[in-house]
Amino acid sequence: MRYGSVCSGIEAATAAWHELGWKPSFFSEIEAFPCAVLQHHYPDVPLHGDFTTIKGDEYEPINLLVGGTPCQSFSIAGLRGGLDDDRGNLALEFLRLAQRTRPKWLVWENVPGVLSSNGGRDFGSIIGGMVEIGYGIAYRVLDAQYFGVAQRRRRVFVVGCLGNAASAAAVLFERHSLQGHPAPRREKGQEVAGTLESRASGGGGGPGAGTDGAAAGYLQPVTAHRMLSMGEYQQDEVASAMKARDYKDATDLVAFDTTQITSPKNYSNPKSGDACHPLAAGAHPPALAICSAVRRLTPRECERLQGFPDDFTQIPYRNKPADQCPDGPRYKALGNSMAVPVMRWIGTRINIVEQITGDNNGR
């Protein structure tokens, strides 16, 4: 399978699909740091700038076009300019490129807010445009937490297949889900919450069961957990214990931690406002305070949350070696990326459909 990628970012698609034997014909990206990441990892793949200028015969013919056009104009956190915003209009430019290159498959990704932008008319225009140029389509909201990473990340994925809506639907929808069997709902907890001690030794019954506390966003013991790319955890220090001085501001990516301290202060006569009030030395010797602090998730942790290999974004940048690569561009690039395991699942499903239909060349 040959594919072209636009709005490539740091190429979650290629990180997901290289093990399927798929080959990229071209990337397209305009941001400086993601371009540096792409050139570092894939120096032999043509890197185009503005994808709206790609001609139909400029690169090797493709069987699939993939892209996650900018989401800011559709996000409920933004001004929601929709297709009237230049960034939102890139979704239509994606369709124009599809019309010029005519791949068999389309894969397009965006935030769930696109479904309600402009009363749903923007999304209707996008999928209507796909149908108009000859693609049968299916769309579905997929959440990365169900694909082996420790974060909730819901995104809309549209799959188009040239002249064949049934094949598009077969990619995104498993037969079991089409038979009226929705995913199991989370049940409200009925058990007594575990103590800090029990969580430290055995994991406890915290709300992040099955995920790391840093990702689940709750207080957990000081023991660090190493987040692996596919959601496995083991005792292995990655980042130092969190301290108050690590806190930057409320916009930081944060994780929580707790620590127990023995207070040197005499609390036999506590006063309102004391750190451990109303603990008293007479009642609870020695006084015990549970102090929480926050810190940023490290870039490596963010890579794992998105399913990338460790240090994938730690590259030589702006004449500095990889070990001096700044964190800021890494956070931004990872935050804008698709989740690798979700893209791997979509690619695997397309392979299965190709095998079933007997069209292994992707045409």
First to last CA, the chain: 9
Whether 71 is catalytic is yes
Q: Do 69 and 126 touch, CB atoms closer than 8 A? A: no
Strand partners, 47: 27
- What values do phi and psi take at 149, rounded to 5? -115, 155
Q: Element (H or E) spanning 121, and its range?
A: helix 121-132
Kindly state the tokens that stand for 336.
């804008």
> Strand, coil or helix: what is 82?
helix
The pair of three-digit structure tokens given for residue 271, joined into one six-digit string:
């006063």
**Tokens at residue 183, please?**
């995913």
Residue 253 CB contacts under 8 Å (≥ 6 apart), including other chains: 296, 297, 302, 331
Catalytic one of 71, 161, 276, 302: 71
Contacts of 337 (CB under 8 A, 6+ apart): 9, 10, 12, 306, 308
Residue 105 to residue 160: CA distance in whole angstroms: 6
Q: What is the DSSP string of 93-123?
A: HHHHHHHHH--SEEEEEE-GGGGTGGGGHHH
| Bridge partner residues of 233 (DSSP) | 227
Residue 199 CB contacts under 8 Å (≥ 6 apart), including other chains: 205, 206, 220, 221
Q: Are 66 and 107 in contact (CB under 8 A)?
A: yes
Which amino acid, one-letter code, is at 211?
Answer: T
CA distance 352 to 172: 11
Q: Which 3 state secondary structure label does DSSP give 143?
A: strand
Distance CA(347)–CA(11), nearest Å, equals: 14
- The one-letter code for the residue type at 254 is V
Enzyme catalytic residues: 71
